[in-house]
Structure 1
Amino acid sequence: MGCTIGLHGVLVGAGPGVGNHVAKKFGDNHFRVVLVSRNQEALNQYVQELKSEGIEAYAIVADAANPLSLTEAFDQIKRNYGTTDVLVYNAAVLKSGKPTSLTAESLVSHYQVDVAGALHCALQVVPEQVKQQSGTILFTGGGFALYPMADHASVSIGKAALRNLAFTLADELKPQGVFVGTVTIAGAVAPGTHFSPERIAEKYWELHVNREEHEIVYS
């Protein structure tokens, strides 16, 4: 289905919540999707679920904490599926804890996944997107970027940095035809509520299609 149209999306940080629902949303709109996460067994299950709904889906194992692992994954994606038209970065370390419970080392290890991994993935797709003067890069943000809390210090710091990465990347890449945006989820994701993954996934599609505002705060 996706192959005939040739649109190709990559989602880093696949999982049963927002990630897989975003993949489904793009798949329903004629994208073939490649899911990336650390767990091969879980990935296989996610791919089967998408395929059962008529979506062309593939899986590649990579660790968002490991730049070399991500580089190898995107090299494989380029070889097998071509240019990434849409990249969604949905990986994060969601660990609670006050600032004084952190160490410099633990904060940096979280930052590697929350922010540096997002930049690294973007850098894997930007050259080809710039070359074709089109493409979309979307990040999963969080309300702690706007309203930091002591009990969630690391996530608050990471999401604030990710938000700034989205805005600065957007500023740099917009003249070259590449759109960058972030969905700032200001609430706890839960099925059957206002913060259901299905509702939130709609906002990623909205950003991709409209290409106007660089942030949707979902509250």
Structure 2
Amino acid sequence: MPSGPLDPRHAVVVGAGPGLGAAVARRFAREGFALTLVARTPQTLDPLAAELRAGGVAVTTVIADAADPVGFRAALLEVADRVTPAVVVYNVGLVAADDLLEASAEYLLDALAVDVVGAVTTAQVLTPGMRAAGAGTFLVTGGGPGLVPDPAHASLTLGKSALRAAVTVLHEQLAPAHVHVGSVTVVGVIAPGTSLDPDRIAEHYWRLHSEPEGAWTVDVVVDGS
């Protein structure tokens, strides 16, 4: 059940590691948001949380692994019991070179848990409060293999393709409740100082959240080629 009224200045960033997740967290922090940061390890979370807190940002950290569906859902339910966020960002993906003809079923299931099932679980747990409030933004990070299949990254291709479809479905389901669902699809390798600099990409998440209802974008493609 939703924890209470929607907090218009609270964002949850799932996958708040170094790179894009950190950049997204910093971008919302600059707009005065308190943050709940979710990642697999304290080693990932603690430096970012310390940096943000030093700048006066209210930060809560949560350890959760999307590869563990049961534990992941339990951790998110604790978040939902504490806050109804205005913004949720799912920025998680398993980027690995693999072969569809050689990958085991167990490996593919684990990859799909991270790439797409975790995003759906996050929506299931954290958007009910948004629906009750009649407002909110749910964003995910897509990838180039979701647009053009990449045989060298087979599991990521399956995951990002399924994630793209999930975003379309979730948008259709949640838009009538005034909840904006969208994705930022990054084509290429994210790296500071390039056209796919994390800070530049993070700006798209803020723009999607800022779009007025009636002019909502479902997917923004950021192509570094």
After superposition, what is the alpha-carbon deviation per residue over 1:52-106, rounded to whole angstroms, capped at 9, x for unaligned?
23322221111111222223222322344x2021110011111111222212221
Aligned residue for 1:87, secondary structure, equals strand
Aligned to 1:18: 20
Are the counterparts in 1 of residues 130 and 179 from structure 2 also a CA contact under 8 Å? yes
Distance, in Å, in 1 between the alignment partners of 2:164 and 2:114 is 14
Correspondence 1:1-219 to 2 at 5 A:
7-80=9-82, 82-210=83-211, 212-219=216-223
Distance, in Å, in 1 between the alignment partners of 2:43 and 2:67 is 19
The one-letter code sitting in structure 1 at the alignment partner of 2:202 is A
Aligned residue for 1:7, secondary structure, equals strand
Are the counterparts in 1 of residues 184 and 219 from structure 2 also a CA contact under 8 Å? yes
Higher alpha-carbon deviation: 98-107 or 190-199? 98-107
Aligned length, in residue pairs: 214
The one-letter code sitting in structure 1 at the alignment partner of 2:168 is F
Distance, in Å, in 2 between the alignment partners of 1:209 and 1:68 is 33
Higher alpha-carbon deviation: 208-217 or 157-166? 208-217
TM-score normalized with structure 2 length: 0.91
The one-letter code sitting in structure 1 at the alignment partner of 2:46 is N
The one-letter code sitting in structure 2 at the alignment partner of 1:8 is H
After superposition, what is the alpha-carbon deviation per residue over 1:118-167, rounded to whole angstroms, capped at 9, x for unaligned?
10011111211110001110000001111111111111111010011011
Quote how far apart the aligned CAs of 1:188 are: 0.6
Are the counterparts in 2 of residues 24 and 55 from structure 1 also a CA contact under 8 Å? no
Higher helix residue share: 1
Distance, in Å, in 1 between the alignment partners of 2:77 and 2:162 is 27
Identity over the aligned pairs, expressed in percent?
Answer: 38
Distance, in Å, in 2 between the alignment partners of 1:52 and 1:209 is 26
Are the counterparts in 1 of residues 8 and 85 from structure 2 also a CA contact under 8 Å? no
Quote how far apart the aligned CAs of 1:6 are: 5.2
The one-letter code sitting in structure 2 at the alignment partner of 1:218 is V
Aligned residue for 2:220, secondary structure, equals strand
Distance, in Å, in 1 between the alignment partners of 2:109 and 2:69 is 14
The one-letter code sitting in structure 2 at the alignment partner of 1:217 is V
Runs of at least 4 residues off by over 6 Å: none
Distance, in Å, in 2 between the alignment partners of 1:123 and 1:27 is 25
**CA RMSD, aligned part only?**
1.4
Quote how far apart the aligned CAs of 1:15 are: 0.8
TM-score normalized with structure 1 length: 0.93
5+ long unaligned stretches in structure 2:
1-6
Aligned to 2:4: none
After superposition, what is the alpha-carbon deviation per residue over 1:165-219, rounded to whole angstroms, capped at 9, x for unaligned?
0111001110111110000001110001110000000011111111511100001
